Amino acid sequence: VLTRGIGGVLADIAAYKAKTDDAKKLDFLHSLLEVINSIHIWHGRYMSALSEKLAAARTAEQQTYYEDLLRNLERVPFQPPASFREALQALWFLFAFVRLCGNWPGIGRIDQMLGQFLEKDLQTGAISEAFARELTAHFFIKSCEWITLDSRGSGDGQHYQNIVLGGVDENGCQSDNTVTRLVLEVVEELPIGDFPIAVRINAHTPEWLYMQIAKVMRHGSGVAAVYNETQIIQSLMDF
């Protein structure tokens, strides 16, 4: 979704459908289209609700606020994100959708997913680091919401799931970036316990990352854990 958008997934489905006449495979591809149709419906509900809010806006500040939200949801998750904010929105939207379907998806390496979008926006001046930090905080605050139903007790509405930070990429290069730091800063400040964080460390892990991990750990929440990725990667290769 972050590299090609759902439109890219639709193109894949169409290509597979054109290559097969196997009934079971076609049934599976049809089910994928049903899921994507559901995403469109869910997305449409958000757009309708925001449009209603915009129409009812009484101040210029409210109008700007809802126009901004609508604009950020126009393209994603159906087209590839063009900014850090769109990328964060696309990631949240799909994560929340899969969670709504009753699955427990792992977000995984959130800094690798979003880092390139933020670096590009920072370099071009499209966003400030302070606003990027605010958006990141909103992502995690939203993720920690619990939905309660007065008539039926507590709803299973929270998004508890592990994330992974730091470490090397597929080419063996360090992947620590600004998103890595912002996530740890947000988790330390708020503090957030719904997202256990695994930080991958190695001989080349920068000192600033060790210091940021320590700042989180000193509160005793146990939300951040460190893993020697050099040893783990080697053990997996040996296996």
DSSP bridge pairs for 197: 163, 224
CA 58, CA 65: separation in Å to the nearest integer?
12
Cis amide bond preceding 105, omega within 30: no
Distance of CA 198 to the CA centre of its chain: 16
84-100 vs 60-73: helix crossing angle, rounded to 10: 70
DSSP symbol at 156? S
CA distances from 136 to 55, 88, 127, 183 (A): 28, 8, 13, 7
Cβ pair 139, 88 in contact under 8 A? yes
Structural Rg of the chain based on CA atoms: 20
Q: State residue 205 phi and psi, 5-degree precision.
A: -60, 125
- pLDDT for 207 equals 96
This prediction has a pTM of: 0.89
Cβ pair 90, 1 in contact under 8 A? yes
CA 178, CA 129: separation in Å to the nearest integer?
9
Which alpha helices (DSSP H) does the chain contain, by range?
A: 5-19, 23-55, 60-73, 84-100, 110-124, 129-143, 178-189, 207-217, 229-238
- pLDDT for 155 equals 47
- pLDDT for 106 equals 79
Tens digits of pLDDT across the chain (239 residues)? 999 999 999 999 999 999 999 999 999 999 999 999 999 999 999 999 999 999 999 999 999 999 999 999 999 999 999 999 999 999 999 988 988 887 877 789 999 999 999 999 999 999 999 999 999 999 988 887 766 656 554 445 556 678 999 999 999 999 999 999 999 999 999 877 778 889 999 999 999 999 999 999 998 877 889 999 999 999 999 99
